Amino acid sequence: MMRRSIFLPLLFVLSTFPARVPAAPTLSPQTFQVLQKVEGLLDKKAYDQAVRKIQKRLSTVSTPLEKALLLRALGSTYTLQGQYARAAKYLEQALATGALPDAQRLQVQYALGQIYLAMERPAKALQSLERWLRSAPEIHPPDRVLLAQLYVQLKRYRRALKQLNLAIGASHSPPEEWFELRLAIQYQLKNYPAAIADAKTLLRLHPAREKLWRQLAGLYQLSGQPFSAAAVKELEDFLGLLDKEREVLNLVSMLRAIHVPFLAASRLEKALDRKQVARNHEHLTYLATLWTEARELKRAIRTLKAAARLAPDGETWLRLGQLYYERGKWNEATEALGNALKRGRLKHPGRTWLLLGSAYLELERLGQSRHAFENALRYPESKQTAKQWLNYLKHLPPA
């Protein structure tokens, strides 16, 4: 359920852009002038010239502050060119001087976090942003969301949830994407009731979004609330959102799981009639099973007949024959069992011959019964029982 999400605003370019640096006793006029000229070159996108000018000045300075500001400017230049590895290298060096003023140090830490994120190095990104977090005078909700997304990438879901809750709580109108992310985190933590609450929040915003209905039903199932899950799917069906075969079959399965096979069968039969579900052997057999569980044997038999005609083997005819046999419908049983043997590819043909022989015996058609038992002799699974039946037939008086 967790989707990979990277939050990379263009702000990181601006946050590393060389600010207009005021002259100060510890900053030489030469360095100040270089930084001003570099800023003008960057405005013109003259990146190569800016790099050369910065590097030339770097080779002559010795004070930590001047070195830090020039390294920061060099990192900013490479950032604007999309050369993130070089940008990170020089920004890290700027931080390592320990000479950056607090405001600029925080800017560089935050920018480094986003640069590492762009480089798909979430651990390094998080390291930079956590350093920034410890000193930042104010943390805005989007910053916490960025941290949450990094924690998610590193599978540190509890920390992600903490940051995301703080972001949502501090926002007057949180974007729906934040609730989607929190839902995904709650799912990973198996906090299903909380995930259900977020799914409901999102559904209020987008009641026609099928994915959210599926998520809500799935969460109810995972939280051990199958009746609620089925109710959600029924409501989704009522809204006309269940148009895919897979989703309809999922609803049928849910209804069966909560022990309402009649409703399950009725829903599947309606879907077959509406052509929402393919009328094939598999689905018709499933429908017959549901009618059988609902004790609707007439409907089960009618459905099995339709399924048997589409069957690749004789197993469905056998099952139909067994149903007839159990109900004492001997003529229908012999017809269905005969069809099973003709279709072939039975798992247990010997047992089918035995059942056919017994059905003929009930009809007092002794010759056909004997013939069926003689055929059962050919299979090890039924040989012994067939001998007993044939011996029994020998002792019966002539019909």
pLDDT given at position 243: 67
Q: What angle do CA 70, 71, 74 make, to 5 degrees?
A: 90
Residue 270 lies in a domain: no
Is residue 4 located within the same domain as residue 115? yes
Q: Are residues 171 and 69 in the same domain?
A: no
Which residue range is the domain that position 362 belongs to?
332-399
Q: For residues 312 and 307, give the distance between their C-alpha atoms in angstroms, rounded to a whole number.
A: 10
CATH of the domain at 92: 1.25.40.10
In this predicted structure, what is the pLDDT of residue 240? 61
90 shares a domain with 178 = no
For residues 46 and 39, what is the distance between their CA atoms, to the nearest angstrom? 10
Q: Is the pTM of this model over 0.85?
A: no
Indicate if the pLDDT at residue 254 is higher than 60. Answer: yes
pLDDT band (50, 70, 90) for residue 351:
very high
Is position 277 within any domain? Answer: no
In a domain, 301, yes or no: no
Q: What is the pLDDT of residue 210?
A: 77
Claim to verify: residue 94 and residue 174 sit in the same structural domain = no
* Token duo for residue 165: 């809750």
Q: What is the mean predicted confidence (pLDDT) over 21-26? A: 49
Same domain assignment for residues 35 and 97: yes
Phi, psi angles (nearest 5°) of residue 27: -115, 120
CB neighbourhood size of 278 (10 A) = 12
- Whether 132 and 147 share a structural domain: no
How many domains, the chain? Answer: 3
Q: Are 87 and 174 within one domain?
A: no
Same-domain check for residues 151 and 72: no
